[in-house]
A and B are shown apart, each in its own frame.
Chain A
Amino acid sequence: MKPTLKRSNAPIFWALFGAGGMLSALIGPMLVFITGLAVPLGLLLPADTMSYAHVLAFARNWAGKAFILAVIALFLWHAAHRIFHSLHDVGVHAGTGAKLVCYGLALVGTVIAAWALLAVGF
């Protein structure tokens, strides 16, 4: 009588979207300020805040790696989800195709970030 219902796998993408949204709302503006304004213009922070040596040391620390991976990967998954749903809203109902492109790019970005973080060593 009742049609069998297919469970949606959306929670995976929704959770990544939510985590990315939360993270970007909390630290996004400050990251833009530090990396895009304060450091290049020499405001508030020491001139060598983002020198190669400093950033390399940050990326070699396990907590630094976790932070960089979270920022890159979760921001990407957030963006992918938003773009996927916006495509649907403007009339592109490519379904699996759009899903693969949007979430696929986020996955590729995540893998590259993880690989690069491992490649810089510990």
Chain B
Amino acid sequence: MAEGQKTIEIEVLRYHPENDTEPHAQVFEIPFTDDMSVLQGVQYIKDHLDGSLSFRWSCRMAICGSCGMMINGVPSLSCQTFLRDYYPARVRVEALAHFPIERDLVVNMEGFIEKLESIQPYIIPREARTLSEGEYLQTPEQLGAYEQFSSCINCLLCYAACPQFGLNSRFVGPAALALLHRYNADSRDGGKAERMELVNSEDGVFNCTAVGYCSEVCPKHVDPANAVNQNKTNSAIDYFLRFLAPKGGAR
């Protein structure tokens, strides 16, 4: 390190399952410049101080959703969180809350991936069309009904923010429910009845207590809390009116 170089301390939660019985903190001192993101900070540690530090990252521009971490206890994308906002104080970096730690800052995403599959995150066509019949047309209003909820990058910050997911990991959770709503609210989609089974289930929307922290930490302004609470209404309507519906509604 050059003489007179400003430095900042980063406290990292370490966990190597082959050696450690439980996670523990380790402090690194790194050179500081005011254009450095927290991600660049941990990259410096890996490149110069301890090559065994593990973390996920890819795009460095809040698009890929890989580099989510708890930064001073707040679920954040480390690529768009800057060290200058903490300097000269020490910054604490930990794996995302509410997920099992695989290694250092890497969490096990398996549970989330299963949930993502369970919501059938693709358009199930309302009516089959042949190529010669052309594309499915949509009005700006129809696009507006779901567009916001299609911006999710699966970064899991909302799960780390959700106290109810923390208490019950079976809860489908904010991102998956927002994406579920994205497809249910799409005028081209006909899969709503199937997806509502999940919304209505004991793992569904009623686990949410409208805390709203998920929407606050979302780096893409998806507002999952809005999607979840719209579906509480949808689910309640479905619950009370299912006997009146022509096909008896969802099971």
Binding site for B on A (CB under 8 A): 2, 5-8, 10-12, 14-15, 85, 88-89, 93
B128 at the A interface (CB under 8 A): no
For A15, the closest partner residue in chain B by CB is B236
For A85, the closest partner residue in chain B by CB is B209
Bound Cα distance from A7 to B203, whole angstroms: 9
Task: Please determine whether B209 and A11 come into contact, CB atoms closer than 8 angstroms.
Answer: no
Binding site for A on B (CB under 8 A): 118, 163, 167, 197-198, 200-204, 206, 209, 232, 235-236, 239-240, 250-251
Task: Please determine whether A11 and B251 come into contact, CB atoms closer than 8 angstroms.
Answer: no
Task: Please determine whether B240 and A5 come into contact, CB atoms closer than 8 angstroms.
Answer: no
Task: Please determine whether A15 and B240 come into contact, CB atoms closer than 8 angstroms.
Answer: yes
- Choice from A7, A10, A89 contacting B251 with Cβ under 8 Å: A7
Bound Cα distance from A89 to B164, whole angstroms: 8
- For B206, the chain A residues whose CB sits under 8 A away are 8, 10-11, 14
Main SS class of interface, B: helix
Task: Please determine whether B240 and A11 come into contact, CB atoms closer than 8 angstroms.
Answer: yes
CB A30 to nearest CB in B, in angstroms, measures: 25
- For B204, the chain A residues whose CB sits under 8 A away are 8
Given that A7-B251, A8-B206, A89-B163 are known contacts, is A14 also in contact with B201, CB under 8 Å in the complex? no
Given that A11-B236, A14-B232 are known contacts, is A2 also in contact with B201, CB under 8 Å in the complex? no
Bound Cα distance from A8 to B197, whole angstroms: 10
